[in-house]
């Protein structure tokens, strides 16, 4: 079906629905069309909006519900259409954003802890975290935080369907796998690659990572991250 035929079908459908309107709702639609024209909408755009609204208006008016009760005043409806659909405040951000947020948080914290430990006790017998291990912390931490976020208990669900067991299993497996990766990299990656830096570099990397985490969280409005 061509685009012109589709538009003609929409117009016919809109006109047919208009004929079923009560006087009060008919006046509302008339005022809305005029207001949308004044706002710069062309005929096709107006018909598209009406094709969405009219079926609901016709259905609800059978129960005595007016278009104004459904969609607010004409001015409010025009403002809503101009603004476009609102984003669900409870909707989570894309996985990659949550992963980056979590990776920067975890990696940054571990870098800071390593830097502080080296600064306070530079002659410690324990081998500090090398650069390669630190990088693994950022990457593995991103996947762990994403897994925890995606499997967090749903407290609004009925009792028994909130996912506590799934959350416990997934988070435990993810944390253990993360720990194994870190330990293995620390023990088996040659020091030529897994370079141990001075404490200043760890503090700098940690501070930069955490600053980047909070900047991106605000800039991208990341929703659904662990912290």
Phi, psi for 85 (deg, rounded to 5) = -65, 140
Closest CA to 63 of 32, 25, 26, 18: 25
> Do 73 and 99 belong together in one domain?
no
75 plus 112 within the same structural domain: no
Tokens standing for 97? 């954003």
- 195 lies in which domain range? 95-220
Per-residue DSSP letter, 104: H
Same-domain status, 43 and 108:
no
Helix (H, G, I), strand (E, B), or coil: what is residue 161?
coil
User: Using N-to-C axis directions, what is the helix angle for 199-220 and 131-150, rounded to 10°?
Assistant: 30
Better pLDDT: 173 or 12: 173
* Pair 204, 102 in one domain: yes
Beta carbons of 159 and 174 less than 8 angstroms apart: no
216 in any annotated domain: yes
Does 111 map to a domain? Answer: yes
Same domain, 163 and 209: yes
Contact between 29 and 61 under an 8 Å Cβ cutoff? The reply is: no
- The pTM of the whole model exceeds 0.75: no
Six token digits for residue 101: 């947020």
- CA distance linking residue 77 with residue 53, whole number of Å: 11
Residue 190 has pLDDT above 60, yes or no: yes
**Residue 19: per-residue pLDDT:** 87
φ, ψ for residue 157 (rounded to 5)? -70, 160
Look at residues 48, 83, 118 and tell me which one is the last residue of a structural domain.
83
Q: pLDDT tens digits, residue range 12-70?
A: 578 888 888 899 999 999 999 999 999 888 888 888 888 888 899 999 988 888 999 98
Does one domain contain both 11 and 117?
Answer: no
Q: Is residue 227 part of a domain?
A: no
Indicate whether 75 and 172 sit together in one domain. no
Q: Mapping DSSP to helix (H, G, I), strand (E, B) and coil, where does residue 194 land?
A: coil
- For residue 8, pLDDT over 70 is answered with no
118 and 51 in a common domain: no
What's the total number of domains in the chain? 2
Question: Does some domain include residue 226?
Answer: no
Residue 57 inside a domain? The answer is: yes
């Amino acid at each position: 079906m061509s685009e012109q035929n589709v538009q003609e079908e929409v117009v016919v459908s809109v006109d047919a629905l208009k004929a079923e309107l009560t006087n009060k709702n008919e006046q509302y639609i008339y005022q809305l069309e005029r207001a949308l024209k004044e706002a710069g909408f062309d005929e096709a755009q107006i018909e598209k909006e009406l094709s969405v609204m009219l079926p609901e208006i016709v259905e609800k008016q059978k129960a005595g519900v007016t278009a104004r009760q459904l969609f607010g005043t004409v001015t409010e409806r025009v403002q809503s259409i101009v603004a476009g659909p609102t984003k669900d405040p409870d909707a989570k951000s894309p996985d990659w954003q949550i992963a980056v947020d979590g990776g920067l948080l975890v990696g940054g914290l571990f870098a800071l802890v390593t830097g502080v430990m080296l600064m306070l006790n530079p002659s410690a017998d324990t081998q500090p975290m090398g650069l390669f291990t630190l990088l693994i912390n950022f990457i593995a931490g991103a996947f762990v935080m994403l897994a925890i976020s995606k499997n967090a208990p749903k407290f609004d669900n009925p009792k028994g369907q909130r996912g506590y067991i799934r959350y416990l299993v997934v988070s435990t497996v993810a944390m253990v796998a993360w720990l194994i990766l870190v330990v293995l990299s620390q023990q088996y990656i040659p020091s030529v690659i897994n370079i141990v830096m001075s404490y200043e570099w760890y503090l700098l990397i940690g501070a930069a990572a955490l600053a980047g985490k909070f900047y991106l969280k605000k800039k991208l409005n990341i929703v659904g991250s662990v912290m």
